[in-house]
Structure formats: structure tokens, C-alpha cells
Amino acid sequence: MEKKQWSMQESFYFPEHAGVPTGVQSVTVTPRYTEERTEDAVRLTGIYHIAANVEFDEGVQRSAELDDSFILIDDVEVDGKDGYFEYAVPLNIDLPSIAESPLDIVTTQATGETDGQGTYGVVWNVECTYTEAVAIVEELEEVQVVVATPIVVIDSTSFDEMDEVLSFIADLTDGVSTTSFRSNDVFVKNEG
């Protein structure tokens, strides 16, 4: 069983009407993905679904302008000081072609934290486990074959396995056969 681990994080801020995040109630990160196999690799694509319950304070303002590394969450549900939001982070994982099913992707230790400056960060660990396909290589023993000198050489033509008609005809034996049968109770004379 092979296991790969790494950490991820996203930073968020919210519209002024929601206020500034001051506390973390809960956060979950759930991976959702599809699997695509090629000769060279196994590619998992999907999302990490983030769902978070956050405490907001209305009177506090953000202390500074934020750069592009922070994501604005427009759609946040606020009820008093309690807020809830969801967000999807792209999931793209490339594994070697020897990765066999079952593939298991889980997130662990998802935590949320506020920085006191108006932003909310989510950090989580990702664990990917899979089994590796093992190629079995057998050593073949050297075999010596003694062939007698041929008496008759028959010229043969090889047929493609896909050409069933030619293969069928090639397998037929030569010979002549006759069959007598009755047709509407009328006797048919065999000439011969």
C-alpha cells in the first residue's frame, strides 16, 4: 500500500455587511473526484468542498487592502454573529500508472483560523492511498528443439485472425460428396 500526504490552504475574506470573522465554530473539507486512467498515469479531478461555520463581529473593519491570494466569499449566510459559507477548491492529483484501485483520498486535520485583520484561513492535510500494480516477470528456460529434415514442403499462406471466412475456407478438406434427396415426392435421377 502506497501513501502520499501533503497540506493545502485557502484564505478568505467577506463583504463588509457580514462583518469580520472573529472565531471558528467548525470547518469540514470533503474531497469529491472522478478517476481517469491512461497508459502513463492515473488522474483524479474534482473539488475539495469546504463548509465552514464562522463567528462574525459587525463593528470591526478590515485593517488593510487584501491582495489576490485572498478569495472573496460573496455568498455568506449570516444570522446575528453566526455565519456559514461553502466553497470549492479544484482537486487535481496525478498518480503513476501503477496506482491500482482502490484509490482512497481523505482530508484530515481541517482547521480554520482568523488573523484578527479580517481574513479567515482554512488549512487541511490530504492523504492519498493506493496499491501498486506489480509486474511479474518470469524467466523462461532455454529450450532446444530438434527438427527432422522435411520430406515434403507445402506452400501455405497465413491468414489474418480477423478474416474468419478465409480461415474457414483454409481449414476445409478436399473431396467430393454427393447427396440424394427427395423434392416434392418427385424422384430425381442422379447422373453419374
If one compares 13 and 62, the residue with the highest pLDDT of the two is 13
| Interacting residues of 67 by C-beta distance below 8 A, sequence separation 6+ | none
Question: 43: buried, middle or exposed (CB in 10 Å: 19+, 13-18, 0-12)?
Answer: middle
Residue 14, domain extent: 2-132
Lookup: cell for 78:
449570516
Domain membership flag for residue 69: yes
Cell of 14: 467577506
Q: Is residue 13 part of a domain?
A: yes
pLDDT at residue 152 greater than cutoff 60: no
79: in domain: yes
Residue 183 forms part of a structural domain: no
Query: Is 124 within a domain?
Result: yes
pTM of the model: 0.64
Which is more confident, 97 or 90?
A: 90
**Structural domains counted in the chain:** 1
Q: Which tens digit of pLDDT belongs to each residue from 1-60? A: 788 899 999 999 888 888 888 888 899 999 998 888 888 888 888 999 999 999 988 766
pLDDT of the residue at 156: 37
| pLDDT 10s digits, 124-134 | 999 988 887 76
pLDDT recorded at residue 89: 92
Please indicate, yes or no, if residue 14 is contained in any of the structural domains: yes
Asked if residue 137 belongs to a domain, the reply is no
Q: Does residue 159 belong to any structural domain of this protein? A: no
Across the chain, what does the average pLDDT equal? 76
Strand partners, 21: 56
Question: What share of the chain has pLDDT > 90, as a percent?
Answer: 22
